Structure 1
């Protein structure tokens, strides 16, 4: 399938190797690994386990780490040298695979080979990707490996591919594809058969509407389509030329300045034809405003990979969260038995990790996906002695990365910006006294009571004996204080003071004093965390907190579901950098905005959103029960201010996950578009029990592109599941 197979490293992988799979210090077992002929699938089994084997696709692998770069491999470092060890890291929430090769050459072949294959899959275009997908299925179904398939086998394969189809129609297409009249299809013929089967009538109709001769779109016809349907206005002429250059496969059509149906379909399936405005994917917002003016992607109990009662505390959990663009991580510290502070969920059975290892991990991974600052939220349960040890680790390991001084040496009237704090880690913790006191050079260790009273600090600070001076001095812009009400904050609050609220407390304040909360959040930052009763690490809906401008809305990143979909959706814009600028009416200190009464806002302009759900393509199978085929339906959910919360769904289509066509229109009115998120969900309808989740995609309303668009679906884990998509037509208009 792929020409990369001549590569010497890939050849070693195809020949197969015996590698040790390591799960812990005591569990290390030999497995035979090899790359299958499709150049995409890695297959492995134990030598003696009879028929059982496992496979995974290169597309599921995010990266290869060389040497002892995982907790498991570090634990057996004495036994196996680093040059034999490597770790495969998967997308989403799937655990790592730790492996040990028998020789350095073999380890290198797998490390370099997998990296090349990952690069290859990332650079494939839509057409190659689809061909690869069809090829994968063909190989899965070709049981006797003769490279051919008769009609009965093809019918079985279609079922595996989620297609329930009219037998006559299938036989008719099969006969057309069987050019040699041998009663079976070879892979090229099967690809042809598949193309006929997936002929997209609904896309063909759109093409016909704009094509003068029904064969091709001339540049001005394509331009007309971009202007009238895709609502692209001014730049449509130049864009028509760019799209033809980029997506038209036929050289002769390009020369005539035309786009064929193939090119048109490739454009519609590409990033530019997707529902998400391409320019909003990039970093495009003003990053020079105070930190309090941004929503910040934030994680709760970051050290957990599973639940809060018996889960495994792990450095991997920090790596996964940071890779997802998280910019505020939480560390729960307790006294360790040998004078070294440990991190775990106190008073539970979760395992413990060393504080210094967490900080080393943070240093290595903090700025891999975003250069904007990371806030380290410290839950400190340690004795003064071990707090001092923590301060030493922070200073020694992080060095200049840790922000320990004021950006410009002045007492701030507002917080510094993400731009000014690039590449810095900020400590959020309790502090003795305020920044004002620290600047007074005559300051001794003890702050006198008069000074305390003068600073209005008395109420907030813990008794002096409980805090280590060294740790306290590392806190600059994120001083944790107790919340005494909005009135108190208006009179005495400092921009660098932060309070934490449980979800229930925040909900209550949002309902009773929404406008006060929005105003408070223009100047100070607030952190919201899940209720202590959520021992299963479930999440609350972050939207209610964003509606009142809370910046640090902490979620359990390890728990898949609606809430993390919303978080991923909000932060999918602005280069996935973990910071999103709040709407202007949430940044003005005298704002009167209230989420409960959106029509009271200046410049209030509700919008009508109309979504025609046209069709679905190659939807994923849900349950692998033999012969079961999905009955898909699409639901569109709106999250935003209370008045905007809405959901509408299509009817379900029996037995077709392959190319269902709905052609149903769902309508919404959006009162505060700047805060709204739109979530598309596909489910397998079941009248007897709960519908099964199949895929979803969530994005901010402000990032929607109008016109004919594809929505590329994501799994529960937020990872891509190509080639699954929805085809929709979106129109947005003012409510008159």
Structure 2
């Protein structure tokens, strides 16, 4: 098995001619750096499977560690991490590199013995990462099987006896009857050696994973039970997948793309293997591939979009003692975030610093944040980034901030209106591509800036909009903090003020005052509790306000654990900048990731038409009153699950999975229903349970699928989830690829469902 896998992988990578990969096979001693004082030598080597990096300490005897290439997201060259920057005087950048892992795992900072060795590993790792990203479904599955084989092959002899197979089944989350397991083992053991190797193990796995649910559908449409003819496949696409356009052409494309048998392709037919490959592909996914690219109109005013937004972006942990890091900005921007927050305070040596004021969080330089912003702002999305400044600095250090912004960002920083004059509405995301907008206090208005008339820096007294208000609004009276807030009134530097163009921070008085007096470029921030108060008292007015102005909502200051509020409530009244703690996993970030998973993950989602016009009078509490109201019925048959991950590492423990479907949207749409749980089977549980929902405002609804491990004595354990906008759902038989708690993929874990959406008359 190992030799086969190695040979196929090596030929796929053309390793024989690749000096970098050959060098990685030989291995290298490199320094693993954790801090300026923690620098240890480790021996690193690429394993024969081309998927695993093995490393060990020179002093630790037999102890070693490994990580998978598929867990590595990117390789950064040079001093591109805080840790490597801290030792930049000791090691030159051409010997340094950083491996960035998916999810919340910390980076691995390494220093090679030479620039040449560093380049070998940088180029080799990038090739391996590219290879993983380009793998087809079948290759990914083969790799997954191979990984399990290696885990179960305890004595490393490349064979697997029945005891090892039983252990493997438990590791793979399946509690199988011993007699049934032995029968499958014996059938797969073609060589009759009492052990499985190579193709025999693949055969065993295929028998183990026989998809009766898919076979049943296949045979319903197959004339002979062996294949789907072109006509059979067309019938399936029309009747089950509800496809209507060029169905014959579509069927031919699917055969060409997913059918592994050349004979079947020649007959213009699809085998069960091809059918499985199609249903497990992006085209067979619940999420419509047509919504994966940028498909929305990006030429409307900025206030007409929901904007992916982060709160306390510099924090990697909680907001009392957590670690502040430039990495927080890099991670948020790479997730498509388009509004990041910077809390700025006077620092030593005249250099402004960033941290959570009056707490024990660590501190970073403002300059380093701006450098990271310049490097990563437009890697994932070309649409504008808003830099939300919480300014606690003296005029002198504000001038330093302005200088850094100007020198580091250059033309990326928006310094004047797009068209050179002031119109009465925002430019669009399209107009502002590649630009960074500053959100903060401003001396005077945009009109004065354009005419060259502006007040002197020492007359522009400002106070911070956030922290003090936060305390009062949550009815927590802390005199010392309130005294500090009053003291925090300060002067604003003209240099920094001039860089605030379209996002002038202003105090919110009332909806009436805003309607009569607000300028289009003025933005107000609301703590979550204040926003909820306005939602309760005047939801429709809040929607109208957000049709004209930008609003930013941020978590309560009482959330010292950096937890989040439900962003859906705020989107329901049209608030654009709903800032969440990106560092905190949970349902709130699942919803944020779900909403922004569409439209090319560009960080901007066009609001529904009825929220973009003040005249429409949409009230989220009474959606049935708006013109165009059309409720829909969503019916979800939860059929089966595939290879669910284990959540309890206790030996012999198997998942008892249930599936819950949750709807988030306007208050009338909030609902949850769940299937029964299946005893002791996380490998291939089957439910055939149907859940039904009424969706009153489809344009605002999000659907979250959650798998949990049922426990009758305590809280269920989380297994996986997937969240998507209701309007992105494809009907028919669909697979849902599950995500972990921190939003990363956990292949090949999935759910298989059948979806129907019908109008309610």
Q: Label 1:385 to 1:155 Cα distance change in 2 as closer, same or farther (>3 A).
A: same
Residue of structure 1 equivalent to 2:704: 679
- Cα distance in 2 for partners of 1:284, 1:34 equals 44
Residue of structure 1 equivalent to 2:197: 186
- Cα distance in 1 for partners of 2:67, 2:104 equals 15
Residue of structure 2 equivalent to 1:59: 70
Residue of structure 1 equivalent to 2:182: 171
- Cα distance in 2 for partners of 1:18, 1:684 equals 43
Residue of structure 2 equivalent to 1:415: 426
The runs of at least 4 consecutive aligned structure 1 residues that moved more than 6 Å come to: 446-449, 462-465
Residue of structure 1 equivalent to 2:652: 627
- Cα distance in 2 for partners of 1:323, 1:702 equals 25
SS at match of 2:133: helix
Q: Is the 8 A contact 2:457 2:491 kept in 1?
A: no
- Cα distance in 2 for partners of 1:105, 1:502 equals 52
SS at match of 1:499: strand
Q: Is the 8 A contact 2:504 2:522 kept in 1?
A: yes
Give, in angstroms, the shift of residue 441 of structure 1: 4.4
Match 2:754 to one of 709, 729, 736: 729
- Cα distance in 1 for partners of 2:721, 2:99 equals 26
Residue of structure 1 equivalent to 2:637: 612
Q: Label 1:694 to 1:254 Cα distance change in 2 as closer, same or farther (>3 A).
A: same
- Cα distance in 1 for partners of 2:458, 2:43 equals 66
Q: Label 1:467 to 1:653 Cα distance change in 2 as closer, same or farther (>3 A).
A: same
Give, in angstroms, the shift of residue 142 of structure 1: 1.2
Match 1:270 to one of 253, 276, 281: 281
1:201 aligns with 2:226: no
- Cα distance in 2 for partners of 1:86, 1:400 equals 29
1:596-675 correspondence runs (5 A): 596-675=621-700
SS at match of 2:139: helix
Give, in angstroms, the shift of residue 444 of structure 1: 6.1
- Cα distance in 2 for partners of 1:157, 1:129 equals 19
Residue of structure 2 equivalent to 1:38: 49
1:17 aligns with 2:28: yes
Q: Label 1:72 to 1:681 Cα distance change in 2 as closer, same or farther (>3 A).
A: same
Match 1:717 to one of 742, 746, 752: 742
Residue of structure 2 equivalent to 1:452: none
Q: Is the 8 A contact 2:344 2:389 kept in 1?
A: yes
Residue of structure 1 equivalent to 2:298: 287
Residue of structure 1 equivalent to 2:464: none
Match 1:536 to one of 525, 546, 561: 561
* Unaligned ranges ≥5, structure 2: 461-486
1:584 aligns with 2:609: yes
Residue of structure 1 equivalent to 2:476: none
Residue of structure 2 equivalent to 1:504: 529
Q: Label 1:446 to 1:720 Cα distance change in 2 as closer, same or farther (>3 A).
A: closer
1:481 aligns with 2:492: no
SS at match of 1:590: helix
Match 1:304 to one of 298, 315, 322: 315
- Cα distance in 1 for partners of 2:292, 2:65 equals 36
1:400 aligns with 2:425: no
1:22-101 correspondence runs (5 A): 22-101=33-112
Q: Is the 8 A contact 2:371 2:408 kept in 1?
A: yes
SS at match of 2:99: strand
Q: Label 1:321 to 1:441 Cα distance change in 2 as closer, same or farther (>3 A).
A: closer
**1:103-159 Cα deviation digits (max 9, x unpaired):** 333322221221111111111111111111001111121122211111111111111
Give, in angstroms, the shift of residue 47 of structure 1: 2.7
Residue of structure 1 equivalent to 2:385: 374
Q: Is the 8 A contact 2:444 2:455 kept in 1?
A: no
Q: Label 1:81 to 1:361 Cα distance change in 2 as closer, same or farther (>3 A).
A: same
Residue of structure 1 equivalent to 2:251: 240
- Cα distance in 2 for partners of 1:696, 1:106 equals 41
Give, in angstroms, the shift of residue 10 of structure 1: 2.2
- Cα distance in 1 for partners of 2:455, 2:525 equals 30
Q: Give the aligned length.
A: 724
SS at match of 2:323: coil
Give, in angstroms, the shift of residue 201 of structure 1: 0.3
Q: Is the 8 A contact 2:394 2:490 kept in 1?
A: no
Residue of structure 2 equivalent to 1:454: none
Residue of structure 1 equivalent to 2:440: 429
- Cα distance in 1 for partners of 2:730, 2:72 equals 30
* Unaligned ranges ≥5, structure 1: 450-461
Q: Is the 8 A contact 2:99 2:109 kept in 1?
A: yes
Q: Is the 8 A contact 1:334 1:342 kept in 2?
A: yes
**1:619-653 Cα deviation digits (max 9, x unpaired):** 11112211111111111000000110000011111
Give, in angstroms, the shift of residue 51 of structure 1: 4.4
SS at match of 2:614: coil
Q: Is the 8 A contact 1:38 1:136 kept in 2?
A: no
Q: Is the 8 A contact 1:412 1:495 kept in 2?
A: no
SS at match of 2:349: coil
SS at match of 1:369: coil
1:215 aligns with 2:240: no
Residue of structure 1 equivalent to 2:731: 706
Give, in angstroms, the shift of residue 464 of structure 1: 10
Residue of structure 2 equivalent to 1:256: 267
- Cα distance in 2 for partners of 1:433, 1:410 equals 16
Residue of structure 1 equivalent to 2:473: none
Give, in angstroms, the shift of residue 561 of structure 1: 0.6
Give, in angstroms, the shift of residue 30 of structure 1: 1.4
Give, in angstroms, the shift of residue 447 of structure 1: 11
- Cα distance in 1 for partners of 2:429, 2:301 equals 7
**1:261-296 Cα deviation digits (max 9, x unpaired):** 100000000000000000001100000000000000
Residue of structure 2 equivalent to 1:550: 575
Give, in angstroms, the shift of residue 396 of structure 1: 1.3
